[in-house]
Structure 1
């Protein structure tokens, strides 16, 4: 006599546990006002589990209903979008396949005549059909990309403005020229031959992050200069290096002297680049210190070096350097320095600097100063706290403390006699009750100052009463736009919130419409919010998040993200910080950050790299002005600052990325794109998800999900764009007309820097990428300078 098969108790218990988790979490979500799906599915799985443990074939029919309902609900929420569909159905699909296995079905029986059959065919067939339907939908979504916009850039203008202030084969400033276009007029590399690029030389600096006492944000972000046949760069460890641009061999190396190196209150340790002043009229290029490099260092100084030898120009300042702490309030070594290259305009240096974020209300000044590039003498100072007096402040007096600063890269129009500065906030970022009228006017704005005097020409504010750390992070890009029959000198300003403001740089007047849109209200007690915020007609800001945008690797962490979303305060962009916790989207990582954009003056377009990540901002009441509230036992070592404590303010702040329990973003991918925009019409031309999770996921699979980027793109006249800043370790080339990726090369470390291109003495066009990694982002550390070229 045949023995009766044993019911699948283990499988039933597993399904029962999954049902309990989903019913409990789904019930919580329902109470918070969220979707009833998880509670309903949890109940369905509970019933399935009970039936399985009793050995009844009806379990497969109930589970088939769960799968079919999930498929219908998923299509209703997200349509044919692969990754959101996968997160909703992966667990149920795999579990469904398991239930169809013979060893499970042998333990199931039906009622009456079904008991005589080897397996429960009808419920199994229903479940099989549901799984096949899910697989077909998944297949359709895998070949359908709702996030791609195909298009083609407009043709080149018959008359266009291409800068000739720098020889075509050279790169004299961080953005190649002071206009900050990141556009090379070289044409040797094209979409047709770029696939033949290979490594021409590879230099190791010998310095990489991981040293004791350094801040977490120790980063290689440098874009080298190319002057003559010299390639010139700096490292975050304050070393300046000159290489032969054609061979990559070292010419000279100088370690910059740092005062009190172990006692600096550093939030960042980086060097984005050097600055170059060509020989002034009447000086021969070969004269000592006629051609100069300027290097800002982490102890708050700017050094002048001879281009040919790297030796200090001792006639500059005191023994070759100027002290940026001169006339500064709240002196704390390391708490202020210029992380970005200074601007050189004729014989003037225009210097801004970074002020510590969210440490205290008593920080140093964000003053902008101009110095004589030959002697280092102070020529003028523009203090946002006292903007109308620009004559040099007398010794013994100090600038306004905690005023808005300009930590990013300035742009210069020497013909117009203006310097354009992207501005930050008065610290702390998330609390603004103590800001004065001048601070409110200049925070998170673009400021145009006269080169000769430092007097204000115009100001355009991108965020009113900024409570989100939406400081203006990127260098403005200057070009001439053909607007109707008129050629207009334009300025394009990317922002963290995703706006691209296109302004007339003579006046700051918008060339593309800017509207004031109502913003959420209800700041923390004692503070206020602005009633409206400016929005550009050319905007790459993401649409507001909704519950169905929550994501996860599985339905479980997706459910956790939905619960977290419902528990946070979120009313769209510009929802003010709160004690409850506010979802900030886009977060302060920015749609655009210091890498900015690249503009094509011939097509009048821009190549952009929008990133979309949500963050959480939670205000924490402070009991006094000295206790650690958010750092607690994790106080930084040595002199490093206690970030986000906001000493002297009523609130500290907890800031974090909005991630699931597995540490992945709670919002659905893509998280990073490349996008082309028309700067005249304000239209988005094309857009593609960019980058893979190969270096982000536990299993290194090159899944093209679209990942964040930090580091700017460049464009070339050969209709190519290059980018290395994505959080996978690749440098990529794109067809500038369509945005399609057409070449990539694996990097040995994170490439969070902006590439550059030049012509070598051998007649080849080179692409140079610096790959050293980014401490805060956790990309692979390194010390690599890599040059690519076509084979000889």
Structure 2
């Protein structure tokens, strides 16, 4: 029975590898799988004949596999394991008495034992080495003793989404240090009560970074509750329900932050002397009294600003605000998210500045009509379907500029018919005059974007010391992995940017840009090859290799196609809305580059199936692009087992020196603890979405990864110092503050992310140092 079973297993493996390997060769891939498949079939025949030659041959299979695997993947355990794991297990089975004892002929145990031991030795060595790790140390000297933090917020407070108008995500607090961070203990936990609903869209996520002013925290929830908490205890002070209702066409259901304003002209203690502004997913902006949550009816129309005013195609669920508005220069600056790839008849991506006290429109900058910024009168409409800002702006009041991260025009993968203005402003960082909205400069990060490479994150402003003196800088992370370090006054690069050739060849109606910009400070990964394909076993790895060879892929910026295109870095982005954090004292940055390939395939209109419902709350699967000649099927590049087809690491933590423009360290970040049915703590380096926060104590805090932890890192080396288990996904950017008794707290919201698949929740959690 054992011989029959072994013969059958060997034959099935051989047939799978042989047939799949032949298919892979026809596509131009590796010959290994066909050769291995034939060797397995011969081994199966020899076992069936009860010949010990099978053991000799199988020893050769193991040794050949080791040599091939090292040649392809080096000594990376996570790449070697899938190549040899099944083969070694079968080798061990062949050595058991139930098989070996029933074979006759010259004893083949010794070579097979040697081969198995050799594979174990290689595995052991590879486990002690990480060829993808980049070790290094950021400079520790204080380059700026009194840096420009972008505002006058007290050190123990957090007044804006990125703490100040500069969006640095840096706190000058230093009570928590590299030496004592391990002593952090839970301080309090608050639950908002805003939980996932059965009729929620896929992209229902909890990503808020609370504000801290005085003794109070201000935050919002996915379904647009505004809540105030006591910063020391987490006790609720008040809550306001915007009653947004549900909308199946809404692509995202989230709230990343509120805005705070203190009206110095109103006496302290009077109604609405301090305000909290709540953006909603049904396109409103509501002003609330920070003291009690009551609506400030002197703002706009009875306290509510209608963001659908002057909008073309004002369809419910097609336009809304997911990110915190920015208050600067007495104005509240608002962008909005436009549903990706639904239709060519989308609302405008106009950027508007309103008087923060009255709600009166001061200026509007519409990239479709960029020279006319005077308030648009009633009855007129902004340009439909223009590039939008779904993230958050930053501002420099001294320079009188506001910095806008712009997305792409939808449909993202179709560039035909775009206007001259769209070609100029799509996927760019734009500087506008804070008082008038007039364009001051634009820096495009992708030409003729066909890949959804929005500028996804709030630019971080920091002054950088160069050989020419101190330069006011802007640090702009992008989905494609480039970090743009620009003079924020002029838009000119501080770290060099060059044009590099890009792949061509599009559908007949479209074209591709012949070159694309590339920053010298970049986390752009190396192009994928067949050797980078991965799986839990050699079987799903082979399936990924076959699919990889069937896709069009010529590196970064391979145009969309009818056959299917591999997009890498993918739509998820190397960096997303969480951006990076910068230390203005040491002039360094910390980020979490993520590497996850996506696929996109264009579908001619006459082949698009009719819609089966009106619910479209996802950017994965079939995106219909109504009104365009093609729809598109999009999603991550996954194996038949639902794991990434590319080998890990999929996520890092990284540090860069902004003065030199060099990446100093990169380390795998996160485990597969919450990615697999079994809670395995393997540090593979997992994807994530969210942002980091730096403190003057030299500690960085980051959740984001798809395992449910909040972690602390040494800013200098990137070494992990501490972690705390979260009850749900931590896809929000943490913040820090102090209370009246002098204690420093670290806080994160744990609520999960819809499309990433982390556990949903409604937790607001704070830690402080134990005694």
Band of TM-score, shorter chain: over 0.9
| Structure 1 residue 739, shift from structure 2 partner | 0.3
| Structure 1 residue 52, shift from structure 2 partner | 0.3
Question: SS of the counterpart of 2:691?
Answer: coil
Q: Distance in 2 between matches of 1:36 and 1:490?
A: 51
2:454 counterpart of 1:484? no
| Structure 1 residue 638, shift from structure 2 partner | 9.2
| Structure 1 residue 291, shift from structure 2 partner | 1.1
2:356 counterpart of 1:373? yes
| Structure 1 residue 265, shift from structure 2 partner | 2.6
Aligned residue number for residue 425 of structure 1: 408
Aligned residue number for residue 248 of structure 1: 234
Aligned residue number for residue 447 of structure 2: 464
Alignment of 1:105-124 (within 5 A): 105-110=100-105, 114=106, 120=107, 123-124=108-109
Decide whether the 8 Å contact of 1:264 with 1:299 is kept in 2: no
Question: SS of the counterpart of 2:370?
Answer: coil
- Per mean C-alpha deviation after superposition, the further-off stretch among 615-624 and 504-513 is 615-624
Aligned residue number for residue 135 of structure 1: 120
Aligned residue number for residue 716 of structure 1: 695
2:162 counterpart of 1:175? yes
Q: Distance in 2 between matches of 1:651 and 1:85?
A: 41
2:602 counterpart of 1:651? no
For residue 530 of structure 2, the aligned residue among 543, 547, 551 is 547
Q: Distance in 2 between matches of 1:720 and 1:639?
A: 37
Question: SS of the counterpart of 2:623?
Answer: coil
For residue 33 of structure 2, the aligned residue among 12, 34, 38 is 38
2:219 counterpart of 1:236? no
For residue 274 of structure 1, the aligned residue among 255, 258, 269 is 258
2:463 counterpart of 1:506? no
Aligned residue number for residue 103 of structure 1: 98
2:63 counterpart of 1:77? no
Cα–Cα, structure 1 residues 150 and 262, in superposed 2: closer, same or farther, change >3 Å? closer
Deviations 1:62-93 (A, max 9, x none): 10110010001011111111110001000000
- Per mean C-alpha deviation after superposition, the further-off stretch among 154-163 and 774-783 is 154-163
Aligned residue number for residue 623 of structure 1: 606
Q: Distance in 1 between matches of 2:356 and 2:143?
A: 39
Decide whether the 8 Å contact of 1:13 with 1:53 is kept in 2: no
Decide whether the 8 Å contact of 2:429 with 2:444 is kept in 1: yes
- Per mean C-alpha deviation after superposition, the further-off stretch among 638-647 and 387-396 is 638-647
Q: Distance in 2 between matches of 1:367 and 1:73?
A: 55
TM-score, length basis structure 1: 0.95
| Structure 1 residue 155, shift from structure 2 partner | 2.3
| Structure 1 residue 762, shift from structure 2 partner | 2.0
Deviations 1:605-629 (A, max 9, x none): 00010000000000000029xx646
Decide whether the 8 Å contact of 1:328 with 1:365 is kept in 2: yes
For residue 216 of structure 1, the aligned residue among 186, 192, 202 is 202
2:675 counterpart of 1:681? no
| Structure 1 residue 284, shift from structure 2 partner | 2.5
Deviations 1:580-617 (A, max 9, x none): 00000000100000000000111110001000000000
Aligned residue number for residue 117 of structure 1: none
Deviations 1:650-680 (A, max 9, x none): 1000001101111110100000000000111
Q: Distance in 2 between matches of 1:39 and 1:640?
A: 39
Cα–Cα, structure 1 residues 640 and 547, in superposed 2: closer, same or farther, change >3 Å? closer
Decide whether the 8 Å contact of 1:277 with 1:347 is kept in 2: no
For residue 148 of structure 1, the aligned residue among 110, 125, 133 is 133
Q: Distance in 2 between matches of 1:636 and 1:697?
A: 32
| Structure 1 residue 286, shift from structure 2 partner | 2.0
Cα–Cα, structure 1 residues 166 and 20, in superposed 2: closer, same or farther, change >3 Å? same
Aligned residue number for residue 579 of structure 1: 562
Q: Distance in 1 between matches of 2:70 and 2:617?
A: 54
Question: SS of the counterpart of 1:767?
Answer: strand
Figure out how many residues of one structure are paired with residues of the other and give that number.
Answer: 768
Q: Distance in 2 between matches of 1:639 and 1:576?
A: 25
Decide whether the 8 Å contact of 2:455 with 2:478 is kept in 1: yes
| Structure 1 residue 100, shift from structure 2 partner | 0.3
Question: SS of the counterpart of 1:454?
Answer: coil
Aligned residue number for residue 86 of structure 2: 91
Aligned residue number for residue 142 of structure 2: 157
2:9 counterpart of 1:14? yes
Q: Distance in 2 between matches of 1:679 and 1:336?
A: 36
Aligned residue number for residue 199 of structure 1: 186
Decide whether the 8 Å contact of 1:213 with 1:637 is kept in 2: no
2:575 counterpart of 1:608? no
| Structure 1 residue 639, shift from structure 2 partner | 9.4
Decide whether the 8 Å contact of 1:7 with 1:108 is kept in 2: no
Decide whether the 8 Å contact of 1:517 with 1:534 is kept in 2: yes
Q: Distance in 1 between matches of 2:179 and 2:490?
A: 42
Q: Distance in 2 between matches of 1:358 and 1:191?
A: 45
Decide whether the 8 Å contact of 2:184 with 2:768 is kept in 1: yes
| Structure 1 residue 486, shift from structure 2 partner | 0.5
Decide whether the 8 Å contact of 1:265 with 1:332 is kept in 2: no
**How big is the alpha-carbon RMSD for the aligned residues of Structure 1 and Structure 2?**
1.4
| Structure 1 residue 523, shift from structure 2 partner | 1.0
Q: Distance in 1 between matches of 2:9 and 2:390?
A: 55
Alignment of 1:659-674 (within 5 A): 659-674=638-653
Question: SS of the counterpart of 1:288?
Answer: coil
Cα–Cα, structure 1 residues 46 and 491, in superposed 2: closer, same or farther, change >3 Å? same
Q: Distance in 2 between matches of 1:37 and 1:297?
A: 55
Decide whether the 8 Å contact of 2:249 with 2:615 is kept in 1: no
Decide whether the 8 Å contact of 2:638 with 2:645 is kept in 1: yes
Cα–Cα, structure 1 residues 638 and 186, in superposed 2: closer, same or farther, change >3 Å? closer
For residue 249 of structure 2, the aligned residue among 265, 274, 285 is 265
| Structure 1 residue 168, shift from structure 2 partner | 0.1
| Structure 1 residue 157, shift from structure 2 partner | 2.7
For residue 374 of structure 2, the aligned residue among 360, 371, 391 is 391
TM-score, length basis structure 2: 0.98
| Structure 1 residue 636, shift from structure 2 partner | 4.5
Cα–Cα, structure 1 residues 583 and 640, in superposed 2: closer, same or farther, change >3 Å? closer
